[in-house]
């Protein structure tokens, strides 16, 4: 039976594993070097994001209020950048000591394709005793996701003892690595991909690792789940497939996090794996890990420079303008009646999830019906002008209905973003987004900011 949302309060989702800094250098390659027959990439943007277990933690923080990452952190510039990115995403880091320097992986990409990867850093987890803060977090965890990247965290003796002990009552999902440690006994789910399974069946791996269940992920073909009752193939739902998408970087992390969330909410393993296959497929279809990156230098590309072209009530026109360039479309919505710090943070984080951000803005009549006869304090056209002036907003669409469902049915975004003061179950539009193959992301809110409270204070 699924637990209610309130049962999860003060029980974090804990991610355990090796973190690194991932860098994507994006540009265009239209010529060869005169020194050698190799492409010259003209850099247009440089993106950074947490990698490994850090990426898994950021993915979890898109839908969870309390995410704890247990990882080894290096005392160097790359380690500092990694820690800052994690903090910005709302992840609490409990650090283990590291021997060596932070691992950094740099991908050079052109026209959406990876051309070269450069790795540097020698860092591995050090020590053999888990800090008390780590033990406390894992003991009260709602679920634990182990993201092993072969850098020593899963071989840490103290961490292994904790994982073995808590698995008797806390769901533990383990995403293994060929160079990593063997999963600890009693895991609720171990999820290797085909290469990591090395031709072994889920049933044989389940016995080998003494796990409750093993799921071999098969990419676009779904997953093969093995339990004590036998094996089951779980296919990718048709609504989660989008033609032309294909960057699978981070898909395994998205799968493991979704499975841990479902098991932590009380679902059985078949339901959890089904949800995980769906989540991983949507993640790949909406841009993969690249869509999780933060720009080291702000991308100043806009749909148009004229205000009249940024503000519209024609949803189809906004959609087609973005789709023609093949970009990942992110959308969010609301009244935005007095823009404040919380709104700005939401809009900037939403824009970083894709290539273009469309804001669905409630019209004056819509705000009045939702907020009362004294609202809005700013007319829709003025609210739209303020939003359109932000570098992170590519278009503003004004709609008259109380709910954005009809507008979303026409816009069909890849990702729909709302503040974390909602749950997905409270969003009637979530079904519309998912029906068109999109993903719903809940971002953390900034405590203490409310348009209604600001307006009331000003009027008093």
Beta carbons of 415 and 331 less than 8 angstroms apart: yes
* Cβ neighbours of residue 41 closer than 8 Å, sequence gap 6 or more: 25, 27, 28, 29, 108, 110, 115
Alpha helices by DSSP H, listed for 127-223, are 132-139, 157-166, 194-197, 202-209
Active-site residue set? 253
pLDDT of the residue at 237: 79
How far apart CA 282 and CA 82 sit, in angstroms, is 26
Task: Return the residue matching tokens 């609720």.
Answer: 188
Structure tokens at 205: 């791996």
Return the SS3 of 81. helix
CA-to-CA separations, 97 to 122, 128, 152, 158, 194, in angstroms, rounded:
13, 10, 11, 13, 32
Sequence-separated (6 or more) residues with CB below 8 Å from residue 103? 18, 20, 21, 51, 52, 78, 119, 120, 121, 122, 123, 151
pLDDT digits (tens, 9 = 90+) for 122-151: 999 998 899 999 999 999 999 999 999 999
Peptide bond preceding 444 in cis form (omega within 30 of 0): no
- Structure tokens of 115? 């051309």
- The 8-class DSSP code of residue 408 comes to H
- Closest to 441 (Cα-Cα) out of 318, 303, 333, 326: 333
- Domain limits, the chain: 13-295, 300-458
Looking at residue 7, its pLDDT comes to: 46
Nearest of 427, 451, 438, 317 to residue 378 by alpha carbon: 451
- Output the DSSP codes for 372-437: -TT--SS-HHHHHHHHHTSTT--EEEEE-SSSTHHHHHHH--SEEEEETTS-GGG-TTHHHHHHTT
The confidence score (pLDDT) of residue 4 equals 41
pLDDT of amino acid 245: 45
| Helix, strand, or coil (residue 285) | helix
Number of neighbouring beta carbons within 10 Å of residue 164: 14
What CATH architecture is 300-458? 3-Layer(aba) Sandwich (3.40)
Write the class of the CATH domain 13-295. Answer: alpha beta
CA separation for the pair 347, 351 (Å, rounded)? 6
In whole angstroms, how far apart are CA 44 and each of 106, 108, 300? 15, 11, 10
Spatial distance between the Cα atoms of 137 and 146, rounded to a whole number of angstroms: 14
Whole-angstrom distance, CA of residue 370 vs CA of residue 383: 16
Q: Which residues pair with 107 in a beta bridge?
A: 24, 117
Q: How many other CB atoms sit within 10 Å of the CB of residue 111?
A: 11
What are the CA-CA distances from residue 150 to residues 79, 178, 362 (Å)? 18, 7, 49
Low-confidence ranges of the chain (pLDDT < 50): 1-8, 241-245, 294-308
Helix 251-264 with 53-61: angle, nearest 10 deg: 50
Tens digits of residue pLDDT in 181-232 = 999 999 999 999 999 999 999 999 999 999 999 999 998 899 999 999 999 9
Separation of alpha carbons 343 and 195, rounded Å: 43
Block residue for tokens 């440690």: 181
Owner of token pair 């033990």: 135
**Residues whose CB falls within 8 Å of the CB of residue 171, separated by 6 or more in sequence, listed in order:** 142, 143, 144, 188, 189, 260, 263, 264
- Coil, helix or strand for 222? coil
**Residues contacting residue 258 through CB under 8 Å, at least 6 positions apart:** 272, 275, 276, 278, 279, 280
Q: How many beta carbons lie within 10 A of that of residue 157, not counting itself?
A: 11
Give strand ranges (E) for 276-355. 294-295, 311-312, 329-334
């Amino acid at each position: 039976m699924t637990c209610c949302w309130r049962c999860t309060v003060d029980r974090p989702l804990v991610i355990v594993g090796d973190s690194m800094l991932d860098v994507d250098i994006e540009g265009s390659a239209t010529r060869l070097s005169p020194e050698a027959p190799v492409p010259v990439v003209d850099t247009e943007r440089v993106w950074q994001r947490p990698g490994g277990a850090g990426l898994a933690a950021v993915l979890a923080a898109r839908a969870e209020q309390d995410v704890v990452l247990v990882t080894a952190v290096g005392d160097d510039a790359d380690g500092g950048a990694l820690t800052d990115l994690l903090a910005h995403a709302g992840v609490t880091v409990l650090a283990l000591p590291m021997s060596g320097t932070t691992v950094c992986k740099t991908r050079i990409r052109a026209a959406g394709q990876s051309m070269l990867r450069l790795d540097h850093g020698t860092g591995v987890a050090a020590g053999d005793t888990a800090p008390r803060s780590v033990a406390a977090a894992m003991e009260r965890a709602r679920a634990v996701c182990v993201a092993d990247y072969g850098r020593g965290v899963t071989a840490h003796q103290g961490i292994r003892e904790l994982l073995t002990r808590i698995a008797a009552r806390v769901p533990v999902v383990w995403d293994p690595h060929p160079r990593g440690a063997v999963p600890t006994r009693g895991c609720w789910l171990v999820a290797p991909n085909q290469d990591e399974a090395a031709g072994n069946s889920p049933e044989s791996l389940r016995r080998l690792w003494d796990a409750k269940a093993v799921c071999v992920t098969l990419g676009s073909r779904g997953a093969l789940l093995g339990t004590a009752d036998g094996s089951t193939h779980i296919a990718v739902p048709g609504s989660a497939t989008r033609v032309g998408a294909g960057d699978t970087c981070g898909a395994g992390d998205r799968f493991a996090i979704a499975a841990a969330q479902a098991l932590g909410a009380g679902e059985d393993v078949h339901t959890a794996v089904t949800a995980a296959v769906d989540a991983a497929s949507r993640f790949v279809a909406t841009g993969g890990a690249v869509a999780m990156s933060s720009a080291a230098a702000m991308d100043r590309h806009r749909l148009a420079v004229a205000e009249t072209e940024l503000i519209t009530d024609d949803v189809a026109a906004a959609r087609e303008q973005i789709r023609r360039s093949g970009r990942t479309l992110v959308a969010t919505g609301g009244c935005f009646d007095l823009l404040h710090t919380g709104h700005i943070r939401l809009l900037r984080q939403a824009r970083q999830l894709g290539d273009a951000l469309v804001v669905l803005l409630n019209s004056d009549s819509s705000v009045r019906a939702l907020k009362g006869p004294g609202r809005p304090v700013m007319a829709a056209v003025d609210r739209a002008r303020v939003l359109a002036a932000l570098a992170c907003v590519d278009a503003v669409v004004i709609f008259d209905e109380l709910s954005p469902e009809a507008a979303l049915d026409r816009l069909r975004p890849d990702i729909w973003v709302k503040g974390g003061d909602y749950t997905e179950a409270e969003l009637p539009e979530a079904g519309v987004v998912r029906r068109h193959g999109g993903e719903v992301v809940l971002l953390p809110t900034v405590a203490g900011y409310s348009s209604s409270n600001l307006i009331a204070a000003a009027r008093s």
